[in-house]
A = this chain, B = another copy of it.
Amino acid sequence: MNDQHHIERCIEALLFAAAEPLSINDLARRLPEGADVVEAIQALRQRFDGRGVELVEVAGRWRIQTAADLAFLMTEEREEPRRLSKAAQETLAIIAYHQPVTRAEIEAVRGVQASKGTLDVLLELGLVRMRGRRRTPGRPVTYGTTDMFLETFGLANLADLPGMTDMKALGLLDMNLPPGFSVPDPSLASDASDTEDELDLEGGDSPEFVQDFVGDE
């Protein structure tokens, strides 16, 4: 079936899938011998007329592109990324396993200064939240995961996070494991109330309170 309709279909598919505009020669090379590429291009061009896309010639080659009058649709939209960046993924992993965890602790594991941006992204995505303040000097803010995190990863609760056994079963942990290596069980951290204070969102972080607390200790 080397008829004109078939040639048109082929050109349509080739132009669509090509990473760059194709010349008449490029097309002819990939089509059956004797195909009238020029005529097919003209026919296709007409067929596209008035559609959402059009066939245009650029620098002697052909490409399919969206109709010029629809350019307004193509406004760039910066959505939250569908996949987390590597840095965000890593930071999220540490928070998930070590929560409640302070920023300094995250940095200690990651070996890089957690860029403020990474944590912000996770907070903004709603995967991570501020949990409270550690009862240590400086009272650093601690971070933990949210219900949304559980939903996103299809977990009923934190105890469902795969642990060391699962990692071993998957071959993620092999024999040259550092001695004493362990993976914390974040489900045990759920009532960390004895090591941290709830975050007071009212901004009632009065210094007196700290003073009092230190006195109690």
Contact = CB atoms under 8 A, between A and B. Distances in A.
B9 A67 contact: yes
A73 B155 contact: no
A112 interface: no
Given A160-B133, A169-B103, A53 B16 contact: yes
Q: How many copies make up the complex? A: 2
Interface string A62-86: 0011110010011111000010000
A156 B170 contact: no
Interface string A115-150: 011011001000000111101000101001000000
Mostly, the A contact residues are mixed
25 contacts: A8-B52, A9-B51, A9-B52, A10-B70, A10-B73, A11-B52, A12-B52, A13-B53, A13-B66, A13-B67, A13-B70, A13-B73, A13-B74, A16-B16, A16-B52, A30-B73, A30-B75, A123-B170, A130-B154, A131-B154, A132-B153, A132-B154, A132-B156, A135-B156, A144-B154
